Amino acid sequence: MERTYIMLKPDALKRNLIGEIIARIERKGYKIADCKMMTLDEAILREHYAHIADRPFFPEIVEYMTSGPVLAMIVEGENVVKGMRILMGATKFEEATAGTIRGDYAMSTGQNIIHGSDSIENAEIEIKRFFG
Ligand code: IDP
Ligand code: MG
């Protein structure tokens, strides 16, 4: 079965939205195969966000992503990588459609509630990175 790496970011936990977001994932028919709370450090974020590490907003992302625990999850289902990206909504919070997780909850692009792998290949890399 296809798997993806999903991470609820610190704002989702601070705003008590875990239950709401997991309910949406389960209602869609996907399975939470594993999950754990983690506190991230800069080293793992530099790996995970290597593609944005040279952007001016990166220091703010590190500060935010280390500001509290995240919920790391392995989510399983048919075409789940693409399907989760659709449930999540667009990266830029003002472009995320109503009805998507980011569209309904994100209050900025930096603090946009949820991460989801962007390809099957990256999903396996990210699952290994966060679950070993
Ligand atoms: P994604 O999370 O939708 O896959 P990426 O382009 O991989 O988006 O960027 C990773 C994360 O970096 C985003 O989720 C967002 O939190 C942050 N980010 C991306 N672009 C911007 C920006 O222009 N301003 C602030 N934060 C950004
Ligand atoms: Mg990405």
pLDDT digits (tens, 9 = 90+) for 23-36: 999 999 999 999 99
Domains, the chain, with CATH or none? 2-131 (3.30.70.141)
Cβ–ligand 1 contact at 111 (below 6 Å)? no
The size of the chain, in residues, is: 132
pLDDT tens digits, 32-82? 999 999 999 999 999 999 999 999 999 999 999 999 999 999 999 999 999
User: In this structure, which residue's CA is closest to atom 23 in ligand 1?
Assistant: 109
52-62: b (≥16 Cβ within 10 Å) or e: eeeeeeeeebb
pLDDT reported for residue 7:
99
Helix and strand numbers (H, E) in the chain are 7, 4
Residues 6+ apart with CB under 8 A from 106: 89, 93, 96, 112, 113
Task: State in Å: Cα 66 to ligand 1 middle.
Answer: 16
Cα separation of 86 and 97, whole Å? Answer: 10
Residues 6+ apart with CB under 8 A from 115: 5, 6, 7, 9
pLDDT reported for residue 87:
98
Looking at the CA of 61, name the nearest ligand. Answer: 1
pTM for this entry: 0.97
Task: State in Å: Cα 51 to ligand 1 middle.
Answer: 10
